[in-house]
Structure 1
Amino acid sequence: MRTPTPATRKAVLAVAGSAALALSALATAAPAGAQATPHVYSKGGTSWVRACDTLAKGDTMACNALKVVSNKGGTVPNATPSGLGPADLLSAYNLPANGGAGQTIAIVDAYDDPNAEADMNAYRAAYGLPSCTTASGCFKKLDQNGGTKYPRANSSWAGEISLDLDMVSAVAPNAHIILVEASTASQTNLGTGLNTAVAKGAKFVSNSYGGGETSSDSSYDSTYFNHPGVVITVSAGDSAYGAQYPAASKYVTAVGGTALKRDSSARGWNESVWYTNSTEGTGSGCSAYDAKPTWQKDTACAKRTISDVSAVADPATGVAVYQTYGGSGWAVYGGTSASSPIIASVYALAGTPSAGSYPASFPYAHTGSLNDVTTGSNGTCSPAALCTAEVGYDGPTGLGTPNGLAAFTG
């Protein structure tokens, strides 16, 4: 069985303490394997909890979504949007509005969110985005085998699903969306869901989950992640420095996380490595098992280095999400579960990858078309580039964040 990384295990075990505040913002329907008192993380007057703090029996992967439960102004409101919205993301990353037409983006998650479609369209309506429904053919919800025998509902993963759907809606509002719900959060079930997403026509697939590396990863690579001509993005993880799988797969675009804030620069925004403490921040690292892809040229790791690119993930600079199953309306989320669907959607705006291509290689051919993140770290390591932002490539933020679409074209 795949187990979480040491940093993940440390975070999951640290669940004692004062979490009454978090309980008021969590699910009214208890998820599988739910913590009675999830650990509350805090930074700069903002507090949040891990949406998937405990793995259910048989699960080997945890989602990388973090739900804000209070901020400087007190409790997070549920009646109006708070956090970064679509216009903020388009501005920060120099992206065109109303994009995604003709593309199909899939998200692969575990368990069922019975309110997924309604919540996504509530988010869209609030921001003036076009609706995306089953009736119109824009939205499909499938089980991991491509049918409609949905798994049991889980209010923790429902937050992950809402986050994913809302980020795709924000960045590529005219794309079609496929939500694939795996029976459990095992790599085999999630991988089966990924294969289903590709078989159903998705050319862009976001995976916002991760766990510890194992010697079985090379077989998972070939079975689930080797899809030439398809963008597969994976969250780098939320447990600070340390490699996770499937972000370590040589076939995927591993997506790290940043703190994104407005400033007075010409860009209007600045970014640094997202880091909360030694158990939480964007993942990065040197794979113990996966070979280095040919397009990755850094010298920090002889094998696969995580990450490739990055986007906003810090809950303290989090994104607006609408969630009613396990929530009561508007919430703010962070984690690399936000950055993965953002990057998948940026790829969709850039166009369909050519047949036989490996889209993870695209940014390496256009390094000047990214926002280079040069400040912050997610821990202590050697060599330093694996955990500390530098000019050019580094582990926590990869080559940088989107600055238009050029870096994501083949």
Structure 2
Amino acid sequence: MRTTTPTDRSDGPSPHRVARRVAAALAATAALVFAGFGTAVQADAAQSAASPSKVTWAATPCSTPKRTGELACDSLRVTGGVTAFQQARAKAAGVTPKAADATTPSGYGPTDLQSAYGLTSAAAANGAGETIAIVDAYNDPNAETDLAKYRSYYGLTACTTANGCFRKVGQTGSTTSLPTSDSGWSEEISLDLDMASAVCPKCNILLVEATSATMANLGKSVNEAVTLGAKYVSNSYGGSESSSDTSYDSSYFNHPGVAITVSAGDSAYGAEYPAASRYVTSVGGTALSKSSSTTRGWTESVWKTSSTEGTGSGCSSYDTKPTWQTDTGCSKRTVSDVSAVADPATGVSVYDSYGVTAGWYTFGGTSASSPIIAAVYALAGTPSTGSYPAKFPYTAAGTSALNDVTSGNNGTCTTSYLCTATSGYDGPTGWGTPEGVSAFTG
């Protein structure tokens, strides 16, 4: 089991988390430079089953805290190779797959995600009037125009400030007093906005930009999102647990009647916060591939690239176990609850233009899975007053309406199900991935 060093986030990120990220980055860099691939992260042999080609990727800049006291985003951007989406598209066309340039989407789009998760009819009919809030740090000055490019390409209706669908505010709710722009967090914002759009095209989107990536500012942004009326709030960031987490729970995440989703992390086995909050739906990550041998037409396994990269999971050191969690291998809160695609080799298409060459990119990380699940909650309808939507997948109706992921692991642990997929509940994928919206209703 991964050990953590308790640290109050007001004093900075956990030394353990920072050291782990730095060590992983140095190891990956050394190995890949030797192989001639530069600093991109390359999928290992365990990923070859999901994507036979050698797909390379790198963590987005916001995945390493830029200042003391800040948390990290959970996203990775593909830098080379042919993704599973490109291979499937080429196979259907009877041609040899080729790496896309920035003018061509190279990851899964709305049709793919809706098909994979049984949401086609729900996405066409539901979501009007619902607002999904995306909480991120710093400002993306191109957020609205990039979102317009994504939605236009995929034939989704426009979502703009002018038509009332899109709204961007700072953590105090101001539309004019916004944080400093940041290219790394802008990539994260583009990913989050596009995934919310892909799964719930009729939903309104509220982007709340925290002044910085501290827990205090991100938490205040969650509160502001709820104050402004959002019933679904996605958070794609995290850090090592701390003894302050229970106070953060009550200050920022205890919002009955609101579905708050949090990415489980990209550092493989080990619990992170705020995914470990008892009040949120913690979202793990999978590798998602088309399959002609299943009725569903898709297969999934736990996302794991290496011992230091893959979906997070595990047993919290501090957070009390919610009453609806009944697994016996962890006396406190267990991460995760549910899951969705996160493997960069089977990643999603995103349009981004700030700080990079304007165009299409493929992203992975549990930053993708969190807004996907928030959007599924939105398709399912407004949570009842006083309810905790994190409980919904744990009901009998919920567990029977999810795709059970039963293969793969994200590391080694003494209590097997905390790091290894199995029938029913497990740490890396929770109860599974969406099969329609029934698991996300009260």
Q: Under a length normalisation based on structure 1, what TM-score does the superposition of the two structures give?
A: 0.93
Q: Give the superposition deviation at 1:15.
A: 3.6
Q: Give the superposition deviation at 1:13.
A: 3.6
Distance 1:5 1:269 in 2: 39
Structure 2 counterpart of 1:64: 74
Structure 1's 310 and 173: CA in aligned 2 closer, same or farther, altered over 3 A?
Answer: same
Q: Which has the higher helix share?
A: 2
Pick one of 296, 312, 327 that aligns with 1:283.
312
Between the two proteins, the alignment pairs up a number of residues equal to 395
Distance 1:61 1:7 in 2: 10
Deviations 1:33-76 (A, max 9, x none): xxxx9663434401111112421224421000111111136764
Q: Give the superposition deviation at 1:292.
A: 0.2
Residue 177 in structure 1 maps to residue 232 in structure 2: no
SS at match of 2:375: helix
Residue 97 in structure 1 maps to residue 106 in structure 2: no
Whether contact under 8 Å (1:275, 1:282) holds in the other structure is yes
Distance 1:9 1:101 in 2: 44
1:372 partner amino acid? D
Structure 2 counterpart of 1:30: none
Whether contact under 8 Å (1:208, 1:336) holds in the other structure is yes
**What's the RMSD between the two structures over aligned residues?**
1.7
Residue 394 in structure 1 maps to residue 423 in structure 2: no
Structure 1's 127 and 151: CA in aligned 2 closer, same or farther, altered over 3 A?
Answer: same
Distance 2:157 2:136 in 1: 24
Structure 1's 326 and 70: CA in aligned 2 closer, same or farther, altered over 3 A?
Answer: same
TM alignment of 1:258-337, pairs within 5 A = 258-264=286-292, 265-328=294-357, 329-337=359-367
Structure 1 counterpart of 2:112: 88
2:180 partner amino acid? R
Q: Give the superposition deviation at 1:19.
A: 11
Q: Under a length normalisation based on structure 2, what TM-score does the superposition of the two structures give?
A: 0.86
Q: Give the superposition deviation at 1:326.
A: 2.6
Identical pairs, percent: 62
2:109 partner amino acid? G
SS at match of 2:188: helix
Distance 1:227 1:158 in 2: 27
SS at match of 2:332: coil
SS at match of 1:232: strand
TM alignment of 1:32-71, pairs within 5 A = 40-43=41-44, 44=48, 45-51=54-60, 52-71=62-81
Distance 1:5 1:364 in 2: 34
1:374 partner amino acid? T
Q: Give the superposition deviation at 1:9.
A: 3.0
Structure 2 counterpart of 1:406: 438
Gapped runs of 5+ residues in structure 1? 22-36
Deviations 1:335-377 (A, max 9, x none): 0000000000000000000000000000001211100000000
1:12 partner amino acid? V
Structure 2 counterpart of 1:11: 21
Pick one of 401, 419, 435 that aligns with 1:369.
401
TM alignment of 1:163-242, pairs within 5 A = 163-242=191-270
Whether contact under 8 Å (2:17, 2:239) holds in the other structure is no
Structure 1's 307 and 168: CA in aligned 2 closer, same or farther, altered over 3 A?
Answer: same
Residue 132 in structure 1 maps to residue 141 in structure 2: no
Structure 1's 320 and 347: CA in aligned 2 closer, same or farther, altered over 3 A?
Answer: same
Distance 1:168 1:357 in 2: 22
Deviations 1:62-101 (A, max 9, x none): 0001111111367641001111000000000000233311
Whether contact under 8 Å (2:123, 2:202) holds in the other structure is no
SS at match of 1:179: strand
Deviations 1:260-284 (A, max 9, x none): 0000110000000000001100000
